[in-house]
Amino acid sequence: MAGPQRMKTSLDEWVAFAEALADESRAMFGAASAPVVELKPDRSFVTDLDERIERRLRERITDRYPAHGIIGEEGGDAGPARELTWVLDPVDGTAPFIAGVPVYGTLIALLADGVPVLGIIDLPVTRDRWVGATGQPTRHSAGPCATRACASLSGAILSASNPDFFGNADRPALDALRAATAWRIYGGCCMAYGLLASGRTDLAIDSSLKLWDYAPFPPIIEGAGGVITDWDGKPLALGSGPRILAAGDPQRHRDALTMVQGAMLP
């Protein structure tokens, strides 16, 4: 791709296609009956719907963009070294999905040379959708959204998907931010990052994440005015993880990153 105008034209096309994928995933949730549940070797859950949604989205991508790679939680890698690669998590928050807690959703991202340039968080029950693309303002459902200013960590609302995802080596970072912030919210899965982009929360920290768990977040958070990195302060890309830190206010991200890195010192 050469030149900003061609990149914008391509992004607009990809965003429209990604939203069509999200529409199809949402429809499959709506038509689904009680899920058939299996336990994977890593003791995480997978359902028949995870596999059916990913299989269908892969088919759509391959038909439309046969030269693009695909990486999915359930189906593995298909051409991940290609210039443009789609990343799919058909059901982010499978355990809440099984339990009927409506924070689960479908995550769709597009990487250009390993860097996320497009991201979608789609929640089928609440019908919330966040769409981010490089150089464009993030949209939440019908209109734009933005992160909020936060005067200090002591007044911040922190989210973490699940404290159980933090191993013994990572727990000091979570504990440091828990002690420094005003309030903590757990169990939000991908919804937590959409809410941060919408200015409802201030910080998000997670560990034990794979590419498909975080790939959509950088375009969404950054397009809303926030910052998201790994715990070393590096931008998220192919090969990042498993630790991520996001903030709506750039100064609070700097403060939180300093605190996290200090907590991780031996």
Per residue in 15-64, pLDDT (tens digit) is: 999 999 999 999 999 866 566 666 656 556 567 888 889 999 999 999 99
Last residue of a domain, one of 126, 144, 162: 144
**Cα distance between residue 210 and residue 47, in whole Å:** 18
89 assigned ligand-binding residue: yes
How many structural domains does the chain have?
2
Is 92 labelled a binding residue? yes
Q: Is 17 helix (H, G, I), strand (E, B) or coil?
A: helix
Q: How confident is the model at residue 1 (pLDDT cuts 50, 70, 90)?
A: very low
Write the pLDDT tens digit of every residue in 85-136: 999 999 999 889 888 899 999 999 999 999 999 999 999 999 999 999 999 9
Does the annotation place 213 within a ligand binding site? yes
- Full domain range(s) for residue 97: 4-144
What pTM was estimated for this model as a whole? Answer: 0.92
Cβ partners under 8 Å of residue 37, min gap 6: 45, 46, 47, 98
Both 10 and 135 in one domain: the answer is: yes
pLDDT over 70 percentage in the chain = 89
CATH of the domain at 66: 3.30.540.10
Q: Which range (23-32, 190-199, 208-217) has the least confidence?
A: 23-32
